[in-house]
Amino acid sequence: MRVVSGIQPTGNLHLGNYLGAIRNWVRMQDDMQDGEQCLFFLADLHAISMPHDPAELHRGTLEMAAAVVACGIDPHRSILFNQAQVPAHAEMQWLLNGTARMGWLNRMTQWKDKAGKNREGQSVALFAYPVLQAADVLLYQTTHVPVGEDQKQHLELARDIAQKFNNDFAGEDTPVFTLPEAITPPQAARIMSLRDGSKKMSKSDPSEMSRIELADDADTVMKKVKKAKTDPEPLPSEAGGLVGRAEALNLVTIYAAVADTTVEAVLGEYGGEGFGKFKPALGELLVETLRPISTRFNELLDDREALDAILARGASQARELARPTLDATYSALGLVR
């Protein structure tokens, strides 16, 4: 089993990014058996498909690398890298562009959603984005890719590209590409804003009080939890009692996600209590959980050399792993090198 998964590099990482995305990587890594392997990459090449600020992309990539390591991705057990240091991704995309069909890409719902009515004004990269994703997984003979609902169509496309390439250019007994299977990532909690239970916690919310950031120190975390919006009622003893109480539900959901238990179990303990008791308990739990993460995160951000070394090492391993498939692809296409 070989698993490949990517994440867009962004800054201002928050609790939602941790519980909703990065923690799943750590769990996948920890579930790997002997002989199995996880490759995790920062999708910086994907980030240039939309208008972007170069300084922000640069900072965001380093921040995301520091965050995933701080959250528990072990660069000695998993291969962690950014695409820009593994040129095989961009090369493979070009090689696959010969096989991908315009019609296939035109049918991608993400393209239709992101381009809207202004298709003519979009970058070629946005249109060809799913081919880069196909390259990301096909390069490594990946067997399994964790994909949410919104990415299923892109994985199907990767399989179609692999199949057509194998049919058109490879011998029947010597396929160049493995067809990757989708695996459903474990259901992750959706964390809402601390100021408004109907909006998700997000790095682009102008209010810092709306989110707990991975870089926050203990006092800041406590202050944000205590100031979080709530209602005057005590907590119910069953989940049904949280209907229509979005802010209360969010705080209980956060507690359950961080403690790795269920909303019911949290209510079993705190049902009947007011927020005067629940908020300090939640704050303590968050401080204890985030302390090692934020310490390591801030250390890594202050130590560029260590961070560069982690990414360089991962990139060198990824280049090594990608080489045979990349060579076989050039060769199958008849390219002289």
Query: Is 83 one of the annotated binding-site residues?
Result: no
- Minimum distance from residue 79 beta carbon to ligand ATP (Å): 19
Q: Which helix (H) or strand (E) holds 145?
A: strand 144-146
Nearest distance from residue 336's CB to ligand ATP, in Å?
42
Q: Given the residues 112, 117, 199, 200, select the one marked as catalytic.
A: 200
Q: Has 79 been labeled as part of a binding site?
A: no
Q: Maximum distance among all alpha carbons in the chain?
A: 74
Of residues 266 and 322, the one with the C-beta less far from ligand ATP? 266
The first and second tokens of residue 201, run together, are: 């916690």
191 vs 251, which CB is nearer to ligand ATP? 191
Residues that bind ligand ATP (CB under 6 A): 8, 10, 16-17, 19-21, 190-191, 200-204
Dihedral sign of CA atoms 310, 313, 315, 321 in order: negative
Is 149 annotated to bind ligand? yes
In the complex, least distance from residue 8 CB atom to ligand ATP, rounded to whole angstroms: 5
Q: Is 8 annotated as a binding residue?
A: yes
Nearest residue (CB) to ligand ATP, 193 versus 325? 193
Pairwise CA distance, residues 304 & 295, whole Å: 15
Q: Report whether 201 belongs to an annotated binding site.
A: yes
Here the tokens at position 281 are 């308990």
* Burial group, residue 299, by CB count within 10 angstroms (0-12, 13-18, 19+): middle
CB of 30 to ligand ATP, least distance (A): 19
- Is 203 known to be catalytic? yes
- Nearer of residues 200 and 279 to ligand ATP, judged by Cβ: 200
Q: How far apart are the first and last CA of the chain?
A: 31
Nearer to ligand ATP by Cβ, of 249 and 333: the residue is 249
Q: Of 236, 218, 233, which is closest to residue 283 (Cα–Cα)? A: 218
DSSP string across 185-218: PPPPP-PBPSS-TTSB--TT-S-GGG--BTT--H
Query: Is 200 a known ligand-binding residue?
Result: yes
224 is catalytic: no
Q: In the bound complex, what is the minimum distance in angstroms from residue 10's beta carbon to ligand ATP?
A: 4
| Cα atoms found within 13 Å of the Cα of residue 135, Cβ hemisphere only | 27
Catalytic residue among 164, 203, 229, 279: 203
26 and 73 in contact (C-beta within 8 Å)? yes
Active-site option among 114, 164, 229, 279: 114
The sheet with strand 37-42 has its strands ordered as 79-82, 37-42, 2-7, 144-146, 181-183
Q: Is 200 a catalytic residue?
A: yes
Q: Which residue is nearest to ligand ATP (CB)?
A: 20
CB of 59 to ligand ATP, least distance (A): 14
d(CA 114, CA 1): 33
Q: For ligand ATP, give the closer residue by CB, 20 or 180.
A: 20
Binding site listing for ATP: 8-10, 16-17, 148-150, 191, 200-204
Binding site listing for L-tryptophan: 136
Q: Which residues are catalytic?
A: 114, 200, 203
Binding site listing: 8-10, 16-17, 136, 148-150, 191, 200-204
